[in-house]
Amino acid sequence: MEPLGITILSLHDYPEIPAIVEDGDTFVENAGKKAHAISQITHEWVLADDSGLEVKALHGEPGVQSARYAGENSSDQKNNKKLLSEIQSIPLDQRQARFVCVMILMAPDQQEWILEGQCQGSIITSPRGNNGFGYDPIFWISEKNKTMAEIDLDEKNLISHRGKALKQLVTLLQNLSPLSKG
């Protein structure tokens, strides 16, 4: 956002904002819930997101439960272990998956814009790589012949679901006159 002259604050800058429960059925619902609640408290522009992994053979699971797939406060390793257990009987050529990121930009007047990025891949049989977090070590990107955890951060930012959603955000912000004027 630096080239746009926009200052970004995080929730750490607003300790009075309570935790917002992500209990929606979709990424859009969860991102929207956070954006609306925080915008109503701060009366500022707000960007909120929700993201996760969807595995086609598991009918979209873990989906919005990605961070809690193996239970509340679960670790990345436990979530990966559960996913690999759930998918172990599914042939490799039927393990299509995608990372999804939905971002909602909320204006103080409650006008909203929804941005979405996706990264297509598949699930391999065991973790590979030390970069990244979450499901990155088991998410295979065939075009790169690597897992998401085997690519460097610059490359990841170009192809990831978050990177793609953020590109859309930058374009949107460049075209929004209230923000582009400061």
Q: What is the pLDDT of residues 72-110, one digit of tens each?
A: 989 999 999 999 999 999 999 999 999 999 999 999 999
Q: Give residue-wise pLDDT tens across range 6-37.
A: 888 999 999 999 999 999 999 999 999 999 99
**Residue 7's pLDDT is what?**
87
Calculate ∠ Cα 120-124-125, nearest 5°: 160
**Residue 105's pLDDT is what?**
97
Q: Residue 182: pLDDT band by 50, 70, 90 thresholds? A: very low
**Residue 179's pLDDT is what?**
47
Q: Give residue-wise pLDDT tens across range 124-147.
A: 999 999 998 999 999 999 999 999
Given the residues 13, 50, 76, 93, select the one marked as catalytic: 50
Does residue 44 register a pLDDT over 60? yes
Does residue 181 register a pLDDT over 70? no
Tell me the residue type at 143.
E
Q: Residue 180: pLDDT band by 50, 70, 90 thresholds? A: very low
Does residue 58 register a pLDDT over 60? yes
**Residue 176's pLDDT is what?**
82
**Closest C-alpha to 121, from 56, 76, 27:** 56
**Residue 5's pLDDT is what?**
84
Active site residue 109: no
Domains of the chain in start order, with CATH, are 2-180 (3.90.950.10)
